[in-house]
Structure 1
Amino acid sequence: MAQVVTGVVVLDCSEPEKLAAFYKEFLDAQDVDASVNLVEIRGADGMRIAFRRDANATPPSWPRPENSLQVHLEFIVEDMDEAERRVIGLGGRPLETRETTAPFEERGYADPSGHSFTLRHHHATAPKLG
């Protein structure tokens, strides 16, 4: 019986080198492996993500339904505004930005190949009184 050691999220895209560079910079990641059709990186916390060449890849159209959400990544960040500036500076684009007073603040983005992801910040809650 095989034992699973780890999992890797793989995003299909037409230019894996370029998409890997976006996430490598955003996540302060290191290269793990690269071949002609696949580039894999690993973030500081051990998160692994790979990018596979697919000449026919079509970006998701979320939130439009015709080619909807194919995969969704979520990144927990300490400073939402700083993370947003970094994403946009690296070539990402906002999909949905909403301010909320709820415990979770989330903002949606697309990477340079069109894959959607969310930045999420968890606000500390005040201690319960009484």
Structure 2
Amino acid sequence: MAVAHVKVIVIDCPDPTALARFYQQVLGGEIENEGRRWVDLHLPDGARLAFQEAPGFVPPTWSPEHSSLQQHLDLGVTDIESAQERMLALGARPLDLDDDGGKRDFRVYADPAGHPFCLIRP
């Protein structure tokens, strides 16, 4: 029997509203508490992401061989090429786009605050 369930995933960042808006464009949903130190994004499937202002925020360093990312989001997409184009237009930064000619089912990006995330093929 489970002891708990995930209520919200909280992401530290320098600008909670800006990062919530980025993920709203990526995932949909409704933003609550805009302009505050804690901003919620209620996703269409009922999940919730929260963005918390973190003074002195330092983004993770992308170098999987030399550091721990500790956590990241895997986002499923149906068409990785068009999703990539949209992500880059929204302000994502490419970190590792070498998918070995389509043999690897993911590509890695950083959101505008520097958190890594992956786009995953079905």
Query: TM over 0.5, yes or no?
Result: yes
Percent identical among aligned pairs is 36
Per the normalisation by structure 2, the TM-score is 0.84
Which position in structure 1 is the counterpart of 2:38? 38
Per the normalisation by structure 1, the TM-score is 0.80
- Measure, in 2, the Cα distance between the counterparts of 1:5 and 1:61: 29
Q: How many residues align?
A: 118
Amino acid in structure 2 at the alignment position of 1:60: P
Amino acid in structure 1 at the alignment position of 2:97: T
Tell me how far 1:4 sits from its aligned partner: 4.2
Amino acid in structure 1 at the alignment position of 2:79: D
- Measure, in 2, the Cα distance between the counterparts of 1:89 and 1:35: 23
Tell me how far 1:114 sits from its aligned partner: 0.2
8 Å CA contact 2:39–2:50 kept in 1: the answer is yes
Tell me how far 1:12 sits from its aligned partner: 0.4
Any unmatched runs of 5+ in structure 2? Answer: none
Which position in structure 2 is the counterpart of 1:60? 60
Any unmatched runs of 5+ in structure 1? Answer: 123-130
Which position in structure 2 is the counterpart of 1:114? 114
Tell me how far 1:63 sits from its aligned partner: 1.5
- Measure, in 2, the Cα distance between the counterparts of 1:9 and 1:53: 14
Amino acid in structure 1 at the alignment position of 2:12: D
Greater helix content: 2
Which position in structure 2 is the counterpart of 1:125? none
Amino acid in structure 2 at the alignment position of 1:114: G
Larger Rg: 1
Aligned-residue CA RMSD (Å)? 2.1
Structure 1 residues 71 and 4: alpha-carbon distance in aligned structure 2, compared to 1, 3 A threshold: same
What SS does structure 1 have at the residue aligned with 2:105?
strand
